[in-house]
Structure 1
């Protein structure tokens, strides 16, 4: 019987790959020493990868290589050298985040199957179409989606020959993947580079709700939801865990294999989850998949919950009995390790064929030319408060300003009002958020069709794809994580983009070698309250509290709250939920990069400032009209130094550390 599903296992090292094969995985995703989103995993050498491929293929198990990080300009030649090696061996697919890498794979390596990573945060049909145009045969969907949101995307994918992949077991992230810069700003360890230091698992000063780990979520498990995934048309069931131990991988994969066999061969769903609780877990939830986003998805302990789970089942309260159960769980894990060792030893005793090699000529990157701009940069302003719209109509402000309006993430609810706003104020241009799910994405298309803006900025690639289809000028926003020349080329040639923001994560010395395509605009966010994390969860349940037990349909459009969260080292963060937008964590200080004006302003056509009302620790001694005037003065050589001095004095404290540290 042919399975509807692929069971996709993590392979953080060679031992875990062997364990996954022995446990019955259909496919394994693994990384090499560079260019993958789990630098904390041991990963593989190229020689180990070559050696394990025949073994995996003898057991009908595919091997996918993860190259799912943002790429810097200085790394392009190295990644092409690696691709030249990978195309000669029989890997079964490459998992990517970077649009520039996707472009290179499409142009030069068509023999390599391409998969869209979870780091691309895919959650609407436009994103699936964009990735299909780049050659992706499958897309890993955002972990935050419910089964009712997954089903239409899976069906849409089937119609367009793109398979859907869904995480079904392992760690949840509190933030949307690819949109978390919290670790990056804190210590330069970017999640978009596979180096996340997991500040969401940190201990914080006890909140008003008596919680010390207010951002720490339980683990994901869809073990009992298999019929829903089957009905939705999901293809690949993905287990998270490339930094987990081999006995964890073996246990989880084996249990999921048993579940798949039981359901597909006998129509019966296994309900005993006790074995899954024996290996590392933070307790389990299927809150996102079930569409029930609630406070019980959090747990105030980032460490292993296994012993606690069995102690609670036994209703044990005294420490002696709890310690006994802890020892018992430890002993059971030791027994599992012995079982894995025996299964792997049997696996490795089998004769294995020699690795095969394709005879293909190396690819060499063509030299790109930089098309310098001939005019000085202009200033653009992002507005989000209705009271600020008057600024866009003030004659006293400098000429040549452009004003953008922050489109709400709850656009389906707010569509009529948003259309009316743009029609009343035709000088405003739309700025789309990074997350637009379901009806909110459909509403974005309706908005574009109705107002037909002369240009727009989108942080959501699906909206960018739709803009191209409608023949509109669009720019890729700062949350699309653009950091190299080939990403710019991809956006222009594949998706008709007229411009793009360079990521705020990269340093000046990293951006200076980026080559601009001809007739392509570069932009940069010069001043902003920096959203370090965007979440579909409620970030107030565990901090200040909320009267609601779970998120309702009214939370996204209506809720507006703010609080401060401080870790044990005394480092504060700002949590703020704006009406119409998702929950977000902001840096404690505004980001203001005046160094860029001195060093690299000549790279950019547009410099942006974000005047959103986020109350950080930054003291601002100027009103918004004065702010605009002074930032505009930065772009006038005769006024630049005076403006830098005034802004430095009137806006303090601020941070620009990421511009100097980079990735």
Structure 2
């Protein structure tokens, strides 16, 4: 496993890839027209990808393909068709979010290197071990982590032969990646499908703290943190920006290349980051890395800050001076553009010409001679040519046999058979062997992976004959609900926990019907304390939205169910979790619609669950949503903020739609839709598929809405499950502000 420090650059289109290559990137990541998390980028065709790989490899630059979205069941055949092409392209790795892709690749395309996308929200030790178990060779760590956290996770990753990469420049999401549903909820364009509409950059009605862009973070820049990242032994420094152009990619990559080279060669940093300010930016922050989460991480506008920065640096006050500064910035950008244009003008991604000539003389071996890009390859038969009338080798036969070399990598010219004597033959199996050997050497002496078809999955029977109700609570005072229902009762464990506090393990021990429900994000000591809850309470089963806790449960022999925030959308993801980590069941994502659910196939002895009533989470952040909404006297988030703060407010967008900004004790600040999710249609549509329908009774995200009587609500849901033909009026009357839009629109 390499320990070379890699500079990883974005390639939204061919020009950007060329820019990254000439600027000195060690690797570039890019996407095709489908299955990647930057649909707004130009992206590549398959032919362009093959050309980009050839070009990059000439410069000792690797290419990683982004397949970093959740996959729908009906898309599996298309994905497999794509993987059949990609596996023989020379690609150096694929970047993956969906756990189903791990299963498909491990079983059918094992030569592909799998990198875990930032969309997998990786931030604790258990998640590193989980990813190792399902076959990741590299992991992109969550952008919210600080340097000590990165150092610790990188050390564990290296112990398990996994590389780590960290974003060091570019746009920051305020939400944990993979855990943002705001775009999906608001406009039906999911961030988990590469269609984020960037609600965090939107303008809102002015908040009490005087801000119209309360969620808008500055861009990330770790330019002066390079020594600490090297000390942390991070393997790859990743630049964000696949929707940005070649000029941006060249400037940022070139600037970082010089910084890395300077420090490695002399131990000194380049003190000037001026060029980074000359391309699109929202000003810069390194606060996630330093762990100092202050108000200074935010900026009042999502627009390009480069001109404003130049004016501020110059101190320009007069109109004349302002014009001079703006012209100077324009001239600098033009000069950088001219430098880039000059450097890439000779680069092309055209297919290589391939010429094949055949030599065949009686008593000699058959010879294939192939010439391409200044190289020549000679392939010879094992046996000697002998007279043959019925099985003679002809020019027509060879043209048909070898025409497959006119492909994504090569343009095959007419096959030269002028030196092939007539009436000669060798066994056809030798022709096949020679063709295979030629393909091998043309592929860089890498074995060609044969085409594979993934067998269709069977639908296995349900665990429960009649679907059950289950519910989630977060307060022990709701334990009386055990007396009004036989439903499974999940108890929510918060994201932040006091060190050494036994409160939650004691609650679980006092209430044996409570099944622990673990959150999606557990960082540092909070992950360790969550593990301690498992060790002290020793539950028979759990639900977890965090793959690190899933790994620990697997290790301890505790039955676990994948929660809804693990974003499960296809059968192969279920198989990955079952086969690799003995998962017993999974919630199907609420982002997908009825038609997308319909084709999901259940593994044997596996429970399927679906939430029909819950507050609609839009985003969760490690930053504070209250600093720029209601205001906060603290200059930065403190350790105690997570445990003690219970603020709540609303923000209203320019369309007049309000969202609840809510925080429970021990929870991360979160934003919820103004409507509750209520989907009784799913009960009627899928009583034959789901074993369990789930309702969330935790009250979070309800804002100022009237609290419903939980016992009555349970009884009404149970009535409906027992007889789904009955009227929905009672539940619709109780839950006044509601939607099931995601179930209609899907991904």
Are 2:640 and 1:551 aligned?
no
1:164-563 equivalence runs, <5 A: 164-317=164-317, 321-348=321-348, 355=409, 356-357=442-443, 359-373=448-462, 375-392=465-482, 394=483, 397-398=484-485, 400-413=486-499, 415-563=501-649
1:618–1:652 CA contact under 8 A, matched in 2: no
CA distance in 2, matches of 1:79, 1:249: 29
CA distance in 2, matches of 1:246, 1:101: 30
The equivalent residue for 1:646 is 730
SS at 1:288's partner residue? Answer: helix
Decide which moves more: 104-113 or 413-422: 413-422
| 1:514-541 CA-partner distances (Å, limit 9, x unpaired) | 0001110001111111111010000011
Q: Structure 1 residue 351: deviation in Å?
A: 12
CA distance in 1, matches of 2:110, 2:667: 39
TM-score by length of structure 2 reads 0.86
SS at 2:130's partner residue? Answer: helix
1:12–1:242 CA contact under 8 A, matched in 2: yes
Give ranges in structure 1 of 5+ residues lacking alignment: none
Instruction: Pick one of 685, 698, 705 that aligns with 1:599.
Output: 685
CA distance in 1, matches of 2:144, 2:620: 11
Q: Structure 1 residue 454: deviation in Å?
A: 1.5
1:618–1:653 CA contact under 8 A, matched in 2: no
CA distance in 2, matches of 1:268, 1:135: 38
Q: Structure 1 residue 387: deviation in Å?
A: 2.9
1:25–1:61 CA contact under 8 A, matched in 2: yes
| 1:312-360 CA-partner distances (Å, limit 9, x unpaired) | 1122345664454334323321221111111111445999766444533
The equivalent residue for 2:109 is 109
The equivalent residue for 1:19 is 19
CA distance in 2, matches of 1:492, 1:319: 67
Are 2:666 and 1:580 aligned?
yes
Q: 1:217 to 1:24 in 2, by over 3 A?
A: same
SS at 1:411's partner residue? Answer: coil
Give ranges in structure 2 of 5+ residues lacking alignment: 353-371, 374-408, 410-441
1:621–1:650 CA contact under 8 A, matched in 2: no
Instruction: Pick one of 651, 657, 662 that aligns with 1:571.
Output: 657
1:602-617 equivalence runs, <5 A: 602-614=688-700, 616=702
1:78-157 equivalence runs, <5 A: 78-157=78-157
CA distance in 2, matches of 1:447, 1:81: 44
| 1:37-63 CA-partner distances (Å, limit 9, x unpaired) | 000000000001111212111111000
Decide which moves more: 32-41 or 604-613: 604-613
Q: 1:318 to 1:301 in 2, by over 3 A?
A: farther
Q: 1:313 to 1:86 in 2, by over 3 A?
A: same
| 1:11-55 CA-partner distances (Å, limit 9, x unpaired) | 000000000000000000000000000000000000011112121
The equivalent residue for 2:389 is none
CA distance in 2, matches of 1:182, 1:368: 33
1:31–1:67 CA contact under 8 A, matched in 2: yes
1:502–1:523 CA contact under 8 A, matched in 2: yes
Q: 1:620 to 1:647 in 2, by over 3 A?
A: farther
Decide which moves more: 296-305 or 363-372: 363-372
CA distance in 1, matches of 2:329, 2:5: 31
CA distance in 2, matches of 1:331, 1:641: 72
SS at 1:529's partner residue? Answer: strand
SS at 1:646's partner residue? Answer: helix
Q: 1:58 to 1:382 in 2, by over 3 A?
A: same
Q: 1:130 to 1:299 in 2, by over 3 A?
A: same
1:619–1:652 CA contact under 8 A, matched in 2: no
Decide which moves more: 241-250 or 416-425: 416-425
CA distance in 1, matches of 2:349, 2:460: 58
SS at 2:469's partner residue? Answer: strand
Q: Structure 1 residue 239: deviation in Å?
A: 0.2
The equivalent residue for 1:72 is 72
1:181–1:191 CA contact under 8 A, matched in 2: yes
Q: 1:319 to 1:471 in 2, by over 3 A?
A: farther
Decide which moves more: 347-356 or 590-599: 347-356
1:633–1:640 CA contact under 8 A, matched in 2: no
1:10–1:16 CA contact under 8 A, matched in 2: yes
1:3–1:264 CA contact under 8 A, matched in 2: no
| 1:567-613 CA-partner distances (Å, limit 9, x unpaired) | 11112111111110101010111111111112112211111111122
1:620–1:651 CA contact under 8 A, matched in 2: no
SS at 1:573's partner residue? Answer: strand
2:248–2:280 CA contact under 8 A, matched in 1: yes
1:411–1:440 CA contact under 8 A, matched in 2: yes
Decide which moves more: 193-202 or 353-362: 353-362
CA distance in 2, matches of 1:190, 1:79: 19
1:589–1:618 CA contact under 8 A, matched in 2: no
Q: Cα RMSD over matched residues?
A: 1.8
CA distance in 1, matches of 2:626, 2:202: 17
Are 2:715 and 1:625 aligned?
no
CA distance in 2, matches of 1:493, 1:468: 11
SS at 1:364's partner residue? Answer: coil
CA distance in 2, matches of 1:3, 1:466: 28
